Amino acid sequence: MQKWGIPTCKKQAIPQRATILAMNVHAFELLVGPYSVAHLRVTQKLQEVGATLPDDGVHVYLTDTLESPDVAPPGRLPLSLRPLVDEHRRAGKVKKETRVLVCMGNPPYERQAFDASEGTDDNAARRDRLLGEFITLARGRTKFSHLASLYNKYVYFWRWALWKVFDSTEGPGIVSFITASSYLNGPGFLGMREVMRRTFDELWIIDLEGGNLGARKTENVFAIETPVAIAIGVRYGKPNPDQPANVRYAKITGTRREKLSKLDSIKSFNNLDWQECSTGWTASLIPSGRSIFSAWPLLTDLFPWQTPGVKVGRTWPIATTTDNAKKRWQTLAVSSPEERSTLFPDRRFGRKTTSDVGITNPPAASRERIIEITERSPIPLIIKYAHRSFDRKCILADPRIIDLQRPPLWFAHSEKQVYLTSLLTDRLGFGPAATVTSNIPDLHYFHGRGGKDIIPLWRNQLGTEANITAGLLNYLENVYGKPITPEDFFAYCYAILAGPEYTRHFANDLATSAPRIPISTNPAYFDYGVNLGRQLIWIHTYGTRFVPINEQPDTVLAGKTRAMRSVPVTIDGYPRDFSWDETTETLHVGDGTFAPVSRAVWDFEVSGLRPLRSWLGYRMKKPTGKKSSPLDEVRPDKWPAEYTEELLELLWVLEYTVNRSGELTAFFESVIQGEVMVAGFLPQPNEEQRKPPEIPRSVTRIPTEQLSFDK
């Protein structure tokens, strides 16, 4: 009975109070099935305790909660459906007139995707009206791309509940929802968090985790892959919008069974271990770390321009070999108009098949529309492409088949450019906190998911304008008493992030923060980190960047692994699977074998991505990964000999990396145990430095020859 709010101390009062409860409880349900079940169960529970039901039955309405109470019911319904019209009117009356003190539920949570073209239509205006201050307060205070996170059904329900319980009155109230937890610290939810802090006096958050898509996977209490949290917000009297709510946070961890058992055992707030959260209006609803980590400068404040990687929008332009990429283009070029609509479905960016191609970046192979190309049409530029961490593929670099090219990324690309990649807007998993590449990177390069996670070292092709906060290198030169180059600082930061200890040591801090860098005040530590980072970048870019003076460029340092038995270069010998033998430390790829391959190499992880297994999976007879077109089925019919060479290079790179893990850990621990620089004393970037580099008007598109070194 306690779960229904009915006291058990005076049994004779139960029927009377249950009757009052029956009169004052209202429920909305959109789907007929749950609506019927709710009617039945609520009726049964109330009758069990002797409640007298209202004359019109329990107040469970078949209605869309978010629909305006002023919307007229459908007309011209048959007589048998007239009760639905009456119910629609009653639900509208509750929405419009009934005072609600408590609103609780588990509203639907589903991210909604909209085309950019929808930004000015009536539906978009209605969505923004529903979100109200959730979106108006966030605009201008976060990146435009982050605002898309607000277009989620559960966010609309939160806004509706706050309006219904609080906006129409100055009295007390409670809102309690279990929803997706993205609003707790998502960068797009600044306005939502501010509204909640201004509305409530107290807010309790019970984080149930449950993410199965991110870098750190945990079991969910529901059969879904979205992390969830329970929120209980209370206002005791008149609003005090100038005093932020006291926000308390608790986390329940473990298996699904353990989480449900813990929830079932909670009798009061005292049964949970609460932590105080920040009082900042837009701050995270998860406590910030209290360790030294929070005093260090953010990686994004040291390198102020970050960008998403390329979003191709289809999988077939990314191929494992140059020949394969050519064959896919040629298959498209000789297709009939009917076939082409299937080979190149372009629902969202349909203009690319029917409109002229303007001056773009990367450059189009021709100004023909995709629907007009023939076998005589020029083949687009094919370049090496950073598809996943440590995995180099090829891409047909043509804007007619790429959804989001990221022009500043291409204009700043050159043989000097190097990209540091991490998770800057999502939670890091175990393994290195960053990887590097010298090739144009994919949106999902770091570990299969992506945001604005690419940090180029240079803002221009010449490598003369560093993407480093103005004044920072001069500050470091004064500390160390010697010149510091952009490459030096980039290498030092990579040495900090590339080892396994960083994400292990600061796992809790990284749950609410982008990576931060401990910059040692000790010149010897800094120099050691620079040398270590330079070596790693040389190896991790497959010998293309930061090449030592005595080494040949584009050469990978050989490790111990050898091809003991080559993979057959025949149609029948094409590998269908792969495995690893722990006893013999042998990697089996079809009939081919490679040894020795240690467990550390086999299990090497980048926030949940296993680079070796991922690389092999993309190159099997039936490859892993999504498919967007029949063109994806155009693949090599035999294992290309170059695959074996590339696999050995990957094994050597990973072998080198795990062999240096002890040195990386020792370096990292020495730095954090010594004196490091505090963020507040370092130069801070301004908004101009955070903007993408401006493309000079004299440059209309990137010259092809500037990409030829990547072919």
- pLDDT single digits (tens) 565-578: 999 999 999 999 99
Quote the CA–CA distance of 683 and 11 in Å, as a whole number: 69
Identify the three-state secondary structure at position 581: strand
Phi, psi of 385 (to 5 degrees): -140, 130
Fold exhibited by the domain 104-287: Rossmann fold (3.40.50)
pLDDT at 560: 97
Q: Are 173 and 166 in contact (CB under 8 A)?
A: yes
pLDDT at 496: 98
* CB-facing half-sphere around the CA of 121: CA atoms within 13 A: 6
Q: Where are the domains positioned within the chain?
A: 2-98, 104-287, 298-711
Quote the CA–CA distance of 693 and 528 in Å, as a whole number: 32
Decide if pLDDT at 84 tops 80: no
Partners of 59 in beta bridges: 26
Quote the CA–CA distance of 596 and 594 in Å, as a whole number: 7
pLDDT at 120: 43
Quote the CA–CA distance of 419 and 409 in Å, as a whole number: 10
pLDDT at 15: 79
Alpha helix (H) ranges present in 62-138? Answer: 82-97, 122-131, 133-136
Rounded to an integer, the average pLDDT of 659-669 is: 96
Q: What is the pLDDT of residues 182-200, one digit of tens each?
A: 899 888 888 999 999 999 9
Rounded to an integer, the average pLDDT of 380-408 is: 94
Rounded to an integer, the average pLDDT of 542-570 is: 93
Rounded to an integer, the average pLDDT of 666-687 is: 95
| pLDDT category of residue 150 using cuts at 50, 70 and 90 | confident
Please tell me the total number of residues recorded for the chain in this structure.
711
| pLDDT category of residue 706 using cuts at 50, 70 and 90 | very low
| pLDDT category of residue 53 using cuts at 50, 70 and 90 | confident
Q: What is the pLDDT of residues 457-491, one digit of tens each?
A: 999 999 999 999 999 999 999 999 999 999 999 99
Residue 343 token pair = 């080979």
Q: Which candidate, 440, 465, 405, places its Cα nearest to that of 693?
A: 465
Q: Say what angle helices 523-540 and 641-659 make with each other, to 10 degrees.
A: 160
DSSP annotation string for 431-465: S-S-EEESSEEBTTTTTS--SS-EEESBSSTTS-S
Quote the CA–CA distance of 59 and 22 in Å, as a whole number: 8
**Cα dist from 464 to 416, 535, 630, whole Å:** 10, 22, 44
Quote the CA–CA distance of 231 and 206 in Å, as a whole number: 6
Rounded to an integer, the average pLDDT of 202-222 is: 82
